[in-house]
Structure 1
Amino acid sequence: MTDHGNGRGDSIAIVGAGAAGAGAAYALRNAAIDVTVFEKSRGVCGRAATRRKNGCRYDHGANYFKDQDARVTELVTETLDTDGLAEAEGPIWTFDADGTVSEGRDTDDHKWTYRAGITQLAKRLFDRTEATIEKSTRVGAVERVDGGWTIADTDGTDLGRYDALLLTPPAPQTADLLAATEWDDDLRGDLETAVRDVSFRPTITAVLHYPFELDRPYYALVNTDKDHAIGWCSREECKPGHVPDGESLLIVQLGADWSADRIDDPPTEVIPDAADLTADLLDDDRLADPDWTDYQGWRYAQPGDAVAAEPLDRAAEHGVFFAGDWVAGEGRVHLALRNGLDTGDRIGKRLLS
């Protein structure tokens, strides 16, 4: 077993390289703490994800991040490299259960991404740190040992010992990990119950490409009454550098009920139905026949509420911490990032006190 501490409480394992994990690692960048991040996928930024295909870049999870938090705004616009920082151009309009589109919900908030995609947010945060990032590594078990934490992957391979632990996966996955954790039974049980009580809504994302440009006066449409099969439809060509001129790329995110019903169906069946719904909503029959598509089923896309704080506060006394949008209570990238920054600050103060 590799011991990453030196007896002074200066090592931490962060599970998850999403916005919260990146924010925590960034907050610890100047502390005398060895940071190792374990990420199950091959990339960073979690549900704030970007793909590339056929000359296009597209944010198929979180579509952008807002400037509604002063610390995040200063970080993004003044501290981090701003080269390539971009904004989705155009307002957000609304539609109801009948598919009636209306002007509205246009605010002064910035809708930020990057020309290279929203994953740049986490990449730029990690670039400012000396954190070790272990990708394609799924943590399957943790154990309290001698005042620290040992970690193993899902194959049982030892991943080392750390003085503190930060868990950032979606609440259901975090609860499963807690269920497999060996330590104080009463607190572990209270934590698992509190975390498992956080509800999550699924979202299916259908990516639909067309070899022509749509003429619409908005960047995106959002369903306000939650009674339409589509929850969100945005035009990725409104983001600088994402889609070549003369083409259209729609990011269609299906509503929670529709997604829950279809999350286990094969993409080959889901995509045509999503395209038909999109053609009907935008009143354009051409949209039922995209020339290429992509798919992502987000089983844990949006938290419905926040976790109870009291068990999390008790857990900190044992060197285990939690961060993410489900801790903040709303599925927004800027909130997950701010929660990660604040949690990183707390961890630094606790370990170095």
Structure 2
Amino acid sequence: MTEATDRRRVKRSVCIDTSMTDHGNEQEATVAIVGAGAAGAGAAYALENTVAEVTVFEKSRGVCGRAATRRKNDCRYDHGANYFKDEDFRVTELATEILDTDGLVEAEGPIWTFDASGTVSEGRDVDDHKWTYRAGITQLAKRLFGRTEVTIEKSTRVGGIERVDGGWTLADTDGTDLGRYDSLLLTPPAPQTADLLAATKWDDDLRRDLETAIRNVSFRPTITAVLHYSFEIDRPYYALVNTDKDHEIGWCSREECKPGHVPDGESLLIVQLGADWSADRIDDPPAETVADAADLTADLLDDDRLTDPDWTDYQGWRYAQPGGAVAAEPLDRAAEHDLFFAGDWVAGEGRVHLALRNGLDTGEWIANRLMS
């Protein structure tokens, strides 16, 4: 652990006392958050008890980013992140004690493993909770935002930022002015954040250091194939995961193991293809890609019926999983200019609970910076 990382964690552990703020009630500090995923939602929640006026800009029509849910033919399915875990005490406390727990459910059954040859082995049925919601995993961000008074501007893609008079101005990809803010938090995947920094009007060596450090964080693509069947698939596990990372399929789970997601008597498989296979096929026609994924799934589960699903869905996640964490030192320097970063690529691993915790910590860091 670097000295910069230690220093950042100390900063983030300080409790927020809004009575100490110098901003008063007449002129609130303004904060812009780019991205309404788990990290953005966590940061917005952490800023709620401060005097900051927070605006969130989200390029899509929904929230929670790659922790995404769709509805189709009476099914709900989490086609990005499949669940969030209880490995962080603060996330656990939020999900089970602070946020509304109505509809909070667990994926039922263990996770087994398979290798490059497709040989399935019984996994360790650990006690970790695998949480989602009856209405889908997007409820996590929706409930966090629901506890705040932030403004969320959906279908708004930020295309440019500029350092002006000690603050930050934002514009969308059409050049439309999105306002000036005292602090700015960027949460998109590292490659998209690096592209935004490359276009930033900020003549400073730090900008180049940030762009270089963030661009050094690799991201692996993942194609998700959703396969529905009008019959039940009887297996003793909730999901299979490829442990040697050398199979065409990386993950295969049964969405019917989540209460409220799939009608009785039906099966819905979430098949996430491996990084190499996904990289080779990410630009191919979705119909062909899903058909090939169904064949691979039938072979893995040794069931020829699975080659012919009665309906399907597709999502190509170009930036699905970070390959590591960004260097902490330039991020610490950026904070002195009221520019912050959060997400799974800052935490170092593609997990919802880590992205959320990183957002909570960064939101507190911003609050402490505003009070200084």
Once residues 246 and 51 of structure 2 are traced to their aligned partners in structure 1, the CA distance between those partners, rounded to angstroms, is 51
Percent of aligned positions with the same letter in both sequences? 87
Which residue, 281, 286, 311 being the options, matches 2:330?
Answer: 311
Equivalent residue for 2:165?
Answer: 146
Which residue, 68, 87, 90 being the options, matches 1:71?
Answer: 90
Once residues 281 and 229 of structure 1 are traced to their aligned partners in structure 2, the CA distance between those partners, rounded to angstroms, is 10
Alpha-carbon deviation of 1:106? 2.1
Alpha-carbon deviation of 1:184? 3.5
TM-score where L is the length of structure 2 = 0.93
Which residue, 249, 255, 276 being the options, matches 1:257?
Answer: 276
Q: How many residues align?
A: 349
SS at match of 2:84: coil
Q: Which moved more, 1:184-193 or 1:283-292?
A: 184-193
Once residues 67 and 125 of structure 2 are traced to their aligned partners in structure 1, the CA distance between those partners, rounded to angstroms, is 22
Contact 2:25 2:51 in 1 (8 A): no
Unpaired stretches in structure 2, ≥5 consecutive residues: 1-23
Is 1:268–2:254 an aligned residue pair?
A: no
Equivalent residue for 1:62?
Answer: 81
Once residues 9 and 164 of structure 1 are traced to their aligned partners in structure 2, the CA distance between those partners, rounded to angstroms, is 12
Contact 2:28 2:53 in 1 (8 A): no
Alpha-carbon deviation of 1:269? 1.0
TM-score where L is the length of structure 1 = 0.98
| 1:1-353 matches, cutoff 5 A | 10-353=29-372
Alpha-carbon deviation of 1:250? 0.1
Q: Which moved more, 1:254-263 or 1:181-190?
A: 181-190
Once residues 371 and 270 of structure 2 are traced to their aligned partners in structure 1, the CA distance between those partners, rounded to angstroms, is 45
SS at match of 1:205: strand
Deviations 1:55-95 (A, max 9, x none): 00000000000000001100110000000000000000000
CA RMSD of aligned residues (A): 1.1
Contact 1:9 1:351 in 2 (8 A): no
Q: Which moved more, 1:182-191 or 1:22-31?
A: 182-191
Alpha-carbon deviation of 1:183? 1.1
* Structure 1 ranges of 4+ moved more than 6 A: none
State the one-letter code of the partner of 1:301. Answer: A
Alpha-carbon deviation of 1:8? 5.8
Contact 1:13 1:164 in 2 (8 A): yes
Deviations 1:284-311 (A, max 9, x none): 0000000000000000000000000000
Contact 1:200 1:301 in 2 (8 A): yes
Once residues 203 and 28 of structure 2 are traced to their aligned partners in structure 1, the CA distance between those partners, rounded to angstroms, is 20
Alpha-carbon deviation of 1:326? 0.1
State the one-letter code of the partner of 1:101. Answer: V
Once residues 63 and 188 of structure 2 are traced to their aligned partners in structure 1, the CA distance between those partners, rounded to angstroms, is 12
Alpha-carbon deviation of 1:6? 9.2
Once residues 312 and 119 of structure 1 are traced to their aligned partners in structure 2, the CA distance between those partners, rounded to angstroms, is 28
Once residues 45 and 9 of structure 1 are traced to their aligned partners in structure 2, the CA distance between those partners, rounded to angstroms, is 27
Contact 1:10 1:352 in 2 (8 A): no
Contact 1:94 1:105 in 2 (8 A): no
Equivalent residue for 2:15?
Answer: none
Alpha-carbon deviation of 1:39? 0.2
Contact 1:14 1:21 in 2 (8 A): yes
Once residues 235 and 123 of structure 2 are traced to their aligned partners in structure 1, the CA distance between those partners, rounded to angstroms, is 14
Contact 1:9 1:352 in 2 (8 A): no
Unpaired stretches in structure 1, ≥5 consecutive residues: none
